[in-house]
Amino acid sequence: MPAIAAEPGEGGAADPRRRVPSTDALLRDERMRPAVDALGAPYVKAWLKGAQNAVRAGELAPTDIVDTVLAQLPDAPITSVRVINATGVLLHTNLGRAPLSEAAVRAVRVVAGATDVELDLATGRRGARGRGALDVLRAAVPGAEDAYLVNNGAAALALAATALTPAHSRAPGSIVIARGEMVEIGDGFRLPDLLESTGATLREVGTTNRVTAEDYARAVDETTAFILKVHPSNFVISGFTAGAGVHELRGLGVPVVADIGSGLLAPHPALPDEPSAAGMLGAGADLVTASGDKLLGGPQAGVVVGRADLIHAMRRHPLARAMRVDKLTLAAFEATVGGPRTPTVAALEADPRGLRARAERLAEALRGDGIDAVAVDSRATVGGGGAPGVELPSAAVSLPTRFAAPLRAVRPAVLGRVTEGRLLLDLRAVAEQHDEELELLVRAAR
């Protein structure tokens, strides 16, 4: 280790600033070289300055700066923090929704450098972008003539509203939609505003709680671009209600676009009321749109499957360029759809008895260290705008609420939920291989 020069100070040797090693000397320390190479000097320097300030405040010994910083540096030069999702919400929007599978993570690493994203290596000429991702998507939804990907679910609907204007109309066509399906999609963004921003006109039919096929039929005319069916995936209306299914609208002479939101490609027995892409196409939808980072379990993307002519119109529209997905998303999506079971599906299919056994083991281990931990039954939800009202039996480790803030401060952070005066760490969205890490983090947060 090279000699470390002190910064000049004021007020004599007692001034703590004279004891602070210089930033340049710290960066030249041989122990810092791997971190500097991996994260970059500016990023490491910011962490060193924080440790230097701790020395000035008398909170850290000068000789401990390097070891302290090396212990705290993250794996990547980013501000985002890895979080263990123990909230019991499988697809937590604030936590990035679906966690990627290991297969998808490996796929992202493969294409992170130069890759044949738009090159046909056999001919040396330009190739079709995203062909692998689209191939596995078509295979997963056999009833689709074609498939397309954009950067999120809202983009898929906006592109459909823009590109599917009737050819005979000079102005944007109208979209027929049930009043009860004019939903807000989160963070103050509303579906009607999104669609109208494309220049389309919305023609509302029915009432908030009831709509019939006859309501749609009366609204369809020569200006109609398509009928839009939106699955209310983040709320439930019960009581005196009625709706018109896709199968009732298929013969009205205009395309039927179904936005299923949560992204199930095929029906799942745990969610019998959640619509799927295959199911909607089978019922007669001409086009289905969905999100890729919800129940599909992949990266953020807007999924479009259905009639080839409609998808061709969307693909060739100039706005499609602005909504194009990048090579990392394409790789992660292909590995998600064509690869092994995703963490989302694993969480959805978790055995409640196995979850309870895990909670018992964790709680017992923590009690052995003097921590007030108890295994309890819990209820988890899908979240992410999917399967509203559906609860999944789960199990959790119950802790005093004083653990909530310290667990958010450890790294990786741990996020649970406070219920009836206790902090619950629900295990349904926590992979079993993270149990030991979770235990250590709870101990560190005492």
Confidence grade of residue 7 (pLDDT, cut at 50, 70, 90) = very low
**What is the dihedral angle through the alpha carbons of 361, 363, 368, 371, rounded to the nearest 10 degrees?**
160
Percent of the chain with pLDDT over 70: 93
Both tokens of 144, joined, read 């689709």
Q: What is the pLDDT of residues 266-295, one digit of tens each?
A: 999 999 989 999 999 999 999 999 999 999
In sign, the C-alpha dihedral spanning 46, 47, 52, 53 is positive
pLDDT recorded at residue 276: 95
43 pLDDT above the threshold of 60: yes
Confidence grade of residue 234 (pLDDT, cut at 50, 70, 90) = low
Task: Determine the 3-state secondary structure of 178 from DSSP.
Answer: strand
What's the rounded Cα separation, in Å, for the pair 167 and 98? 38
Which residues touch 353 (CB under 8 Å, ≥6 apart)? none
pLDDT recorded at residue 178: 93
436 pLDDT above the threshold of 70: yes
- Taking CA atoms, 282 is separated from 144, 265, 310, 329, in Å, by 9, 12, 17, 28
pLDDT recorded at residue 49: 95
pLDDT recorded at residue 8: 43
What's the rounded Cα separation, in Å, for the pair 77 and 35? 10
What's the rounded Cα separation, in Å, for the pair 371 and 375? 12
pLDDT recorded at residue 165: 78
144 pLDDT above the threshold of 80: yes
Q: In terms of residues, how long is the chain?
A: 446
Q: What is the pLDDT of residues 81-117, one digit of tens each?
A: 999 999 999 999 999 999 999 999 999 999 999 999 9
From the number of C-beta atoms within 10 Å of its C-beta (0-12, 13-18, 19+), residue 143 rates as middle
Which residues touch 214 (CB under 8 Å, ≥6 apart)? none
Residue 90 contacts residue 355 (beta carbons within 8 Å):
no
What's the rounded Cα separation, in Å, for the pair 178 and 207? 7
Once rounded to an integer, what is the mean pLDDT over residues 23-46?
A: 95
169 pLDDT above the threshold of 80: no
Average model confidence (pLDDT) across the chain: 91
Q: What is the pLDDT of residues 398-433, one digit of tens each?
A: 999 999 999 999 999 999 999 999 999 999 999 999
Confidence grade of residue 63 (pLDDT, cut at 50, 70, 90) = very high
Pick the closest to residue 228 from 281, 150, 175 (CA basis).
175
Query: At 273, which amino acid appears?
Result: D
pLDDT recorded at residue 17: 59
Residue 415 contacts residue 96 (beta carbons within 8 Å):
no
Confidence grade of residue 377 (pLDDT, cut at 50, 70, 90) = very high
Q: What is the pLDDT of residues 70-83, one digit of tens each?
A: 998 999 999 999 99
> What pTM does this model have?
0.90
What's the rounded Cα separation, in Å, for the pair 350 and 257? 33
